[in-house]
Amino acid sequence: MENEVQKKRILSGIQPSGDLTLGSYLGAIKNWAALADEYDCYYMLADMHTITVRQVPAELRRHTLTQVAAYIASGLDPEKNVLFVQSHVPAHAQLGWVLDCYTMFGELSRMTQFKDKSAKNADNINAGLFTYPALMAADILLYQADLVPVGGDQKQHVEICRDIATRFNGIYGDTFKLPDPYIPQVGARVMSLTSPEKKMSKSDKDPNGCVYMLEKPEDILRKFKRAITDSDTERCVRFDRENKPGVSNLMQIYAVATGKSFETIEQEFAGHGYGDFKQAVGESVVELLRPIREETERLLADKSYLESVYRAGAEKAAYVANRTLNKVYKKVGFLPR
Ligand code: TYM
C-alpha cells in the first residue's frame, strides 16, 4: 500500500576472506538476527572486497559458501533477510566505478584500514585496496540503507560513505539516503587473546589470538586458557580498558556471551584467580557457538539449499540495487541504452 509506513532498511556485509571470527560474530552478525522484524535487512558476502588481498580461489569459494551457511545458522532467516553474494549483483561494481570518480585521493589516504592493510601487504598495495571505501559506499548506497550495523573498526568507512553521498547529492540533487553506523555498546571491538592491544582479526598471524566461530570446543577452551591477562599487581577481575586490557577484553566477551553486566561479573569472580575466570569465559563462548557450528555443518551438507538461498537473494538484491543504479546513470548523463 502506498501510504503504509516503510520499514527502515539495513545493509551490512562481511568479507569471506577466511573463517569467521568471534570478533565478526560479536561485533556484527549476532546483532543482525534481532533486527529482522523491525527492519528490511540486506546482508552481503563481500567477496569483491576480499581480492584487494590475494586469495586462493578454491579457498575463497569454500569460505563464501561456509559463510552463507553460518549466516543462516546464526539466526538470519532467509525468508526474512536478503542474503546475497556481492559479485552476483553487478550493480556493486557499476556504482563502485561511478563513486570512484566522486571520492577524493586525500580522503582515501586518511583511511586507517588502508594504512594498516598496506603495511601488512607491502608487496601488493593495489588500487583496489586504496579505493575499497568507494566500493563499500556503493554497497550501502545502492540499497538506500538507513543503518549499517558494523563493529567499531568500520565506522570510518561509513563516515566516508556519507561524505561521498553528500557530495553526489550536492551536485545532482537528492539521490542517496545518508546512512548511519549502528555499533553495539559491548562487543564493538573484540581484541586478540594474545595481544589485547590489537583487534581480533582473521588475518592475524598468531592463531592463538583469534577464536573462530566454527572452531572445535577443545580448541576454543585451550585458547582462552592461554589468553593473556594482565601483569598489574592487582590480580582481580575488573573492567579497566586502559590498565587491564586483557581482562577487560575477556570481560567484554563474557558479558556478550552470557548477557551479564560488568558489575555482576566482577562480583562473580571476586576472590577467584584468573584461571577460573578464563575457564568460565571459554565455556561461555563454547556454549554460545556450539549450536551455530552444528547448524552450519548440517547446512553445508545441503548445497542445493544454500544455492537456492543465495540465488533468490541475488535476485531480490539486484532489483533494489538496479533502481538506484539507473537513477545514478541518468543523473551523471549516461545515454540510456
Ligand atoms: P570485515 O569482514 O573485516 O568484518 C566484518 C564485520 O565484523 C566486524 N568485526 C569486529 N567487530 C568487533 N571486534 C572485532 N575484532 C571485529 N572484527 C571484525 C567488522 O566491524 C564488520 O562489521 N569492509 C567491511 C565489509 C563490508 C561492509 C560493506 C560492511 C564491505 N561492504 C558494506 C558494511 C557495509 C569489512 O572489511 O568487514
pLDDT tens across 117-149, in order? 999 889 999 999 999 999 999 999 999 999 999
What is the pLDDT at residue 3? 47
Contact 325, 95 (CB under 8 A): yes
Q: One fold for both 2-183+303-332 and 207-297?
A: no
Does the pLDDT value for residue 39 go beyond 80?
A: yes
Percentages helix, strand, coil for the chain (3-state, rounded to 5) are 55, 10, 35
Does the pLDDT value for residue 90 go beyond 50?
A: yes
As assigned by CATH, the class of the 207-297 domain is: mainly alpha
Domain residue extents for the chain: 2-183+303-332, 207-297
Query: 309: buried, middle or exposed (CB in 10 Å: 19+, 13-18, 0-12)?
Result: buried
What is the pLDDT at residue 218? 97
**Ligand 1 pocket test, candidate residues 66, 129, 150, 161, most atoms within 8 A of CB:** 150
What is the pLDDT at residue 184? 85
Cell matching residue 279? 575457564
What average pLDDT is seen over the chain? 94
- Which residue, judged by its Cα, is nearest atom 7 of ligand 1? 24
**Ligand 1 pocket test, candidate residues 24, 41, 213, most atoms within 8 A of CB:** 24
Indicate which residues carry an active-site annotation: 117, 199, 202
Cell matching residue 308? 537456492
pLDDT band for position 2 (cuts 50, 70, 90): very low
Rounded Cα–Cα distance for residues 331 and 33 (Å): 36
Q: pLDDT by residue (tens digit) across 25-34?
A: 998 999 898 8
CATH number of 2-183+303-332: 3.40.50.620
What is the pLDDT at residue 4? 57
The pLDDT of 234-255, averaged and rounded, is: 92
Q: pLDDT by residue (tens digit) across 277-335?
A: 999 999 999 999 999 999 999 999 999 999 999 999 999 999 999 999 999 999 999 99
Bridge partner list, 212: 21
Long-range contact pairs involving 74-79 (C-beta distance under 8 Å, separation at least 24): 74/25, 74/29, 74/30, 74/32, 74/33, 74/292, 75/32, 75/33, 76/29, 76/32, 76/33, 76/36, 76/41, 76/43, 77/36, 78/309, 78/312, 78/313
What is the pLDDT at residue 1? 45
Does the pLDDT value for residue 194 go beyond 80?
A: yes
Rounded Cα–Cα distance for residues 229 and 313 (Å): 43
Does the pLDDT value for residue 88 go beyond 90?
A: yes
Does the pLDDT value for residue 115 go beyond 60?
A: yes
- Which residue, judged by its Cα, is nearest atom 9 of ligand 1? 24
